[in-house]
């Protein structure tokens, strides 16, 4: 019985990861839940949240939390920068490498030991620029 449960969890987790890796939209758990439900109609939102947490702890996905509103999830776990459109709310990857020298500069300026940094860009996305 334990095996069966384990197997079900593995299938659910694999599907959640596939759904996340198939989109560049940085979706919310609600969106992921709707997608997963198309293939596993009996899955619950709680199960989706639980699996997202496990995937996050395993370093397989990123949780993007901007302090307000729902977290978004990213199937690319490598550190990278994001842009949030303040008009439509879309979140995009910013296609340049993480500037690791910023850690050095922050250390020099403060004396702190720096492990990592986060940098978020805000503005108007290309689609919104074209429709304004």
What the block records as the tokens of 12 is 């659910």
- Are residues 30 and 37 in contact, defined by beta-carbon separation less than 8 angstroms? no
CB atoms under 10 Å from CB of 125, counted, come to 17
Least distance to Zn ion, CB of residue 132, Å: 9
Contacting Mn ion within 56-75 (CB under 5 A):
74
Where along the sequence are the contacts to Zn ion (CB under 5 A)?
85, 87-88, 90, 125, 128
Residue 43 site contact among Mn ion, Zn ion, none (CB < 5 to 8 Å, cut-off depends on kind):
none
**Cα–Cα distance for residue pair 80/120, rounded to 1 Å:** 10
| H or E element, residue 15 | helix 2-21
Residue 94 site contact among Zn ion, Mn ion, none (CB < 5 to 8 Å, cut-off depends on kind):
none
Query: In this chain, which of 18, 63, 93, 120 binds Mn ion, going by CB under 5 A?
Result: 93
Least distance to Zn ion, CB of residue 89, Å: 7
- Are residues 61 and 41 in contact, defined by beta-carbon separation less than 8 angstroms? no
Residue 74 site contact among Zn ion, Mn ion, none (CB < 5 to 8 Å, cut-off depends on kind):
Mn ion
Residues of the shown chain interacting with Mn ion in the complex, contacts defined by CB under 5 A = 74, 93
């Amino acid at each position: 019985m334990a095996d069966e449960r384990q197997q079900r969890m593995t299938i659910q987790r694999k599907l959640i990861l596939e759904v996340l890796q198939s989109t560049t939209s940085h979706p919310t758990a609600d969106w992921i839940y709707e997608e997963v439900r198309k293939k596993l109609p009996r899955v619950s939102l709680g199960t989706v949240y639980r699996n997202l947490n496990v995937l996050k702890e395993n370093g397989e996905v990123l949780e993007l939390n901007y302090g307000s509103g729902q977290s978004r999830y990213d199937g690319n776990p490598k550190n990278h920068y994001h842009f949030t459109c303040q008009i439509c709310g879309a979140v995009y990857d910013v296609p340049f490498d993480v500037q690791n020298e910023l850690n050095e500069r922050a250390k020099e300026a403060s004396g702190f030991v720096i492990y990592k940094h986060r940098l978020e860009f805000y503005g108007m996305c290309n689609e919104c620029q074209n429709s304004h």
